A and B are shown apart, each in its own frame.
Chain A
Amino acid sequence: MDFTRNEMMTIVAARALKNNDVCFVGIGAPSAACNLARLTHAPQITLIYESGTIGTRPNVLPLSIGDGELCETALTTVSVPEMFRYWLQGGRITVGFLGGAQIDKFANINTTVVGDYDKPKVRLPGGGGAPEIATNCQEIFITMAMGKRAFLDKLPFITSMGHGPTGAERRAMGVKSQGPTRLITDMCVFEPDAQTKEMTIVSIHPGVTREEIAENCGWTPRYADSCSETPAPTAQELEVLRDIQARTKAAHAA
């Protein structure tokens, strides 16, 4: 069965989640992946959106983090201050799932500005929930498509911390959560090196070459000795993903 790179990315991201995870879901690519996990191998996963919806089971993917669908299908809905204080800061979340505009080799993320903060070339939306999601969840998964403008050697602004600018800062600050443990792209999967915390490629998606990865990465990426090929999407994974995306498209156009 043919598949696009974007479908591959969403499916590999979904596979990273477990049935017993309590997952704080970012909008966009993470939301698609988290719901695909729920509709395939992880039916009991708890999905939480920052709008306060806990244990939500949307039938279509939300356009925003606060669509009515999320509240209607949730186990319970709490206020936004309670969400950030009791549930996120309270340490109840096992996985935070983030996207981003730009990322560096230590999985720090920028979603704030390109250029100078006071005179920005491009003003991006900003951090939203991400700065605290990045440090208060037990671990962080990130999903982003690769590209020279997205995968940068040095970020103009750190919106949410990965392992810190040199990979050492997170530990040095005494942050107890693990930080980014997986970065799932449209070409490959990265995991942090145990010592240096540099995001290192552990598997390459079918049909992708190391040359292509190099062309779409702003630093020279390192490969794990055990680097393998990512298993291709199954027919069931593709079918469930395409179904929910078709339902979503119809619902949002209405």
Chain B
Amino acid sequence: MAKFMGLAEAIAQNVRDGDTVALEGFTHLIPFAAGHEIIRQGRKHLTLIRMTPDLIYDQMIGMGCADKLVFSWGGNPGVGSTHRMRDAVENGWPNQLAIEEHSHAAMANAYEAGAANLPFAVLRGYIGVDLPKVNPKIKSVTCPYTGEVLATVPAHRPDVGIIHAQRADREGNVLIEGITGCQKEVVLASKRTIVTVEEVVDKLNPPSFNSVVLPHWTVGAISHVVGGAHPSYAQGYYKRDNSFYIAWDKISRDRDTFLAWMKDNVLDKTPEAFAVHAKKGSV
């Protein structure tokens, strides 16, 4: 049942040390404000699942929140490396980071299997490649009808699924539109969920009958955080801050520069600080 609350309370109630957590949003609607709140609350030993770790997991890994990363593409899109993730994998800073690596197709299928309450996903994938040699969770099954050998991966069933959405109505029904990634699957696959939204409205008024709406009884905590996806974006509200993605390369390359940025822009801030970004990049 959806319950409205502040973001600090939502994170404190739902995210515990050692949890498996998925903050999803495929380039669009990445829940940065929620990630920053997890960092501020000092959560540790998390297993972080995300198709594209992006800047949000670069920040969480660099601040020591994670023991393990489950992912399929770990870079700064169109820019280069996620330097904090690389530093953790290559040098163990600030701590050793275990990785479980998949392809996008397998990750998307694993979320879908979780939402469908199946134990594993099946796909025609991983053919002739080396990932199955280094990820023992990638296995195979023989089709009982055709004999074809297909790849399998276990379903994703996070303890906590966290997404950002355009809006919720006062009952807690949630609307997502634009590039919807696998947000619906993450919410339906997770034990507990947190949704941050740009706006709370009297009526959702979905633009079409088939817009992605999550009924209030599928959602846990809802927090109203204006601008909560920045530097990612919320279609219809503000654009992706591509100049920040480019700037992050320099900020994150060096440990001290990174820590200074995190202190000024995360540790010393509150979720309300995100609102200014929504205004700046408005569409």
Contacts and interface: CB of A to CB of B under 8 A. Distances in A.
Interface in B45-60: 51-52
Contacts of B283: 68
B178 A62 contact: no
A52 interface: yes
A81 B103 contact: no
A102 interface: no
Nearest to B24: A80
A77 interface: yes
Contacts of A1: none
Interface string A29-53: 0000000000000000000001111
A64 B78 CA distance: 5
Contacts of B85: 123
Nearest to A108: B128
A239 interface: no
B17 to A, nearest CB: 26
Given A81-B109, A89-B124, A135-B127, A129 B243 contact: no
Interface in B144-167: none
Interface string B74-98: 1101110110011001100000000
Residue of B71, B85, B240 ringed by the most chain A CB atoms within 10 A: B240
Contacts of B134: 117-118
A126 interface: yes
B26 A66 contact: yes
Interface in B26-46: 26-28
Given A27-B77, A81-B185, A52 B180 contact: yes
B181 A63 contact: no
Contacts, number: 180
Interface string A47-79: 000111100000000111111101110000101
A68 B233 contact: yes
Contacts of A85: 105, 108-109, 112, 123
Interface residues of B, number: 54
A149 to B, nearest CB: 16
Contacts of A120: 89-90
A58 to B, nearest CB: 13
B179 interface: yes
Contacts of A136: 124
B181 A129 contact: no
Residue of B52, B71, B108 ringed by the most chain A CB atoms within 10 A: B108
A80 B78 contact: no
Contacts of A79: 180-182, 184-185, 212
Contacts of A161: 127-129
Interface in A79-137: 79-81, 83-85, 88-89, 112, 117-118, 120-132, 135-136
Interface of B: 26-28, 51-52, 71-75, 77-79, 81-82, 85-86, 89-90, 101, 103-105, 108-109, 111-112, 123-131, 134, 178-182, 184-185, 212, 233, 235, 239-240, 242-243, 245-246, 283
Interface of A: 27-28, 50-53, 62-68, 70-72, 77, 79-81, 83-85, 88-89, 112, 117-118, 120-132, 135-136, 157-161, 164, 169-170, 173, 175, 251-254
19 contacts: A52-B26, A52-B179, A62-B78, A64-B78, A66-B27, A79-B185, A80-B26, A80-B104, A80-B181, A85-B108, A89-B124, A89-B125, A118-B134, A128-B72, A129-B104, A131-B131, A132-B125, A135-B124, A164-B128
